[in-house]
Amino acid sequence: MASTLQRTVGTILYPRFELLDVFGPLEAYGMLPDRFKIVTVAEQPGPVASNQGPKTLAEYSFDDAPQLDILLVPGGLGTREELDNPRLLSFLKARTAKAEYATSVCTGSALYARAGLLDGKRATSNKMVFGWVAEQGPAVKWVKEARWVEDGKMITSSGVSAGIDMTLALIAKLEGMPRAEQAAVWMEYEWHRDANWDPFAKIHKLV
């Protein structure tokens, strides 16, 4: 099963994470189990309650997590509290340095921003709370209208469901368009392939 090309996707969980921010991308990665191994990581191992209630088990703590090739950082109401969690921010710094890609969904980009990982880089976030997220990283080149933004190893996506589109685009980049298209068909998902597609920036009067 585990070919030398299989990448480990490190899903970072924290209290009150947003469900679809995590499980949309994991559904897409999960369509190619020969290529992506999914692991869950939190400050402490064990159950982590989502913003919506259901709890997901973190297999690893920050101290014993294996090498993570792709980081997945969700948003959610819990983001606000984690902005002042030095353990989480230093874990993101250390692991982004060693990762091939560091991705986020929704307000997850506020955590990368606070950790300084987006300074001087282009990035996006949830459109409903965009102004607040932007305040967390004054040196970031925030892009208001985008489904997702890639700058070097940092890939940040817009709110909630945007994580699915970002992940399919990353799968296309790493494993080829045919496998990404197949994953989208298996998910019966109408994939937005254009990173610039973003009606929600207009709805929230950001542009």
Amino acid identity at 24:
G
Q: Does 66 bind a second copy (CB under 8 A)?
A: no
Element counts in the chain: helices (H) and strands (E)? 8, 11
Q: Does 167 bind a second copy (CB under 8 A)?
A: no
Q: Does 148 bind a second copy (CB under 8 A)?
A: no
Q: Could you tell me the two tokens for 65?
A: 């997590």
Q: Could you tell me the two tokens for 198?
A: 């973003």
Tell me if residue 196 is catalytic.
Answer: no
- Which residues have C-beta within 8 Å of that of residue 84, sequence separation ≥ 6? none
Q: Could you tell me the two tokens for 203?
A: 């709805």
Q: Does 16 bind a second copy (CB under 8 A)?
A: no
Which of 106, 118, 162, 201 is labelled catalytic? 106
What are the E-state strand segments in 86-152?
Answer: 101-104, 122-123, 141-142, 148-151
* Interface with a second copy (CB under 8 A), residue from 12, 20, 42, 71: 20
Q: Does 121 bind a second copy (CB under 8 A)?
A: no
Q: Could you tell me the two tokens for 40?
A: 């869950």
- The residue among 23, 34, 15 whose CA lies nearest residue 179 is 34
Rounded to a whole number of angstroms, the minimum distance from the CB of residue 96 to a second copy is 22
> Is 30 or 116 the residue whose CB approaches a second copy more closely?
30
* Interface with a second copy (CB under 8 A), residue from 54, 131, 152, 176: 54
Kind and range of the H or E element at 36?
A: strand 36-42
User: What is the Cα–Cα distance from 65 to 60, expressed in whole angstroms?
Assistant: 5
Interface stretch with a second copy, choices 79-87, 122-130, 137-145, 148-156 (CB under 8 A): 122-130
Q: Does 127 bind a second copy (CB under 8 A)?
A: yes
User: What is the Cα–Cα distance from 48 to 14, expressed in whole angstroms?
Assistant: 6
Interface stretch with a second copy, choices 19-27, 81-89, 95-103, 114-122 (CB under 8 A): 19-27
> Is 28 or 115 the residue whose CB approaches a second copy more closely?
28
The footprint of a second copy (CB under 8 A) covers: 11, 18-20, 22-24, 26-27, 29-30, 33, 38-40, 47, 51-57, 126-128, 158-162, 164, 185-190, 192, 199-200, 203
Catalytic residues: 106
